[in-house]
Amino acid sequence: MRKVAVVTGANRGIGLAIVRQLCKKFSGDVYLTSRMADNGKKAVDRLKQEGLNPIFHELDVSQPDSIRMFEEFITQQYGGIDILINNAGISFGKDKVPVFRQAQLCYEVDFMGTLNMCKIFLPLLRPHARIVNLTNSYIGKKSALGEHAQNKLDVSTMSLSDLWLIMDFYIKAAKTGTHANGGWPESPKQMTKTLIVAMTKILSRDLKGDPRKNILINACCPGWTDTDGSVEFLGGVCQDTGLQTADQAASGVVWVASIRPGQSSPNGGVVQKQEVISCDF
């Protein structure tokens, strides 16, 4: 079967740049997926004008049925998957969005989108497959949480269900404005990026002993970039930080996704600029 790589939320920004670089480096088919078909097809056409040959497929990671339909398609066409890059995420830019609505969208797209993509595609992973979950190490640090919240996030013992219960509690609390109680972050984006790091570590731990050889699952922080995902943090944690281009950011993500077969690390880590960082987990 021909090798295949999938990038979610890839019609613009870092996702588009990841597809561009994979098309140049990966010896297989590269799928550019997007919730909005028109934008996704335009992005594919743009890359084809550059002499590249990505393939478009519609995918809304906030909808489990959309993920399952795509999984069935990949199964029928390829029988497995070699690279999965979970890039899809909500960006608020400079828009003033109520905190509860931010929490809802971050939950549906960033958290559940990443979680469901991993869970549904795990059975399809081939030996030496790579999963990369995009996060933000600047805001996704466990040490930024209060003591109670830090104690709750024990990735050595907790399950994915435990992680979901924490996020579900946070969403319900955001409705009443009490979501930051107990040491949880005020920012829903910070909450989801922290939990994506925890999710990655739990998934990696649970795959130990899997009969398929050398499957690596890592989180990756592409760094502050000239995209909407970073713009919303300008003047805050992103203050006085130079913004890189999407292509510069994508190179680090593609490096993690391209770790050569047989190499056993990094695995379950957070990678930034080709180096493993702790995020205090």
Q: Is a pLDDT exceeding 70 seen at residue 209?
A: yes
pLDDT number for residue 28: 98
Q: Are strands 125-134 and 29-34 parallel, antiparallel or unpaired?
A: unpaired
DSSP3 helix / strand / coil % (the chain, rounded to 5): 45, 15, 40
Q: What is the pTM of this model?
A: 0.95
pLDDT band at 237 (very low <50, low <70, confident <90, very high): low
Taking Cα atoms as reference points, which of 193, 170, 172 lies closest to residue 183?
170
pLDDT one-digit tens code per residue, 221-234: 998 888 777 666 66
Calculate the alpha carbon distances from 263 to 184, 197, 252, 256 in Å: 36, 21, 17, 11
Quote the CA–CA distance of 162 and 177 in Å, as a whole number.
22
Give pairs for 151-158: CB < 8 Å, separation 24+.
153/194, 153/198, 153/281, 155/198, 155/201, 155/202, 155/205, 155/281, 156/205, 158/198, 158/202
pLDDT number for residue 279: 81
| Region at 33 (left for phi over 0; alpha for psi -120 to 50; beta for the rest) | beta
pLDDT number for residue 239: 57
pLDDT band at 236 (very low <50, low <70, confident <90, very high): low
Q: Kindly tell me the burial class for residue 49, based on how many C-beta atoms sit within 10 Å of its own C-beta (0-12, 13-18, 19 or more).
A: exposed
More confident residue, 114 or 241: 114
pLDDT-wise least confident of 81-85, 132-136, 140-144, 269-273 = 140-144
Q: For residue 63, count other CB atoms closer than 10 A to its CB.
A: 15
| Region at 208 (left for phi over 0; alpha for psi -120 to 50; beta for the rest) | beta
pLDDT band at 69 (very low <50, low <70, confident <90, very high): very high
pLDDT number for residue 140: 86
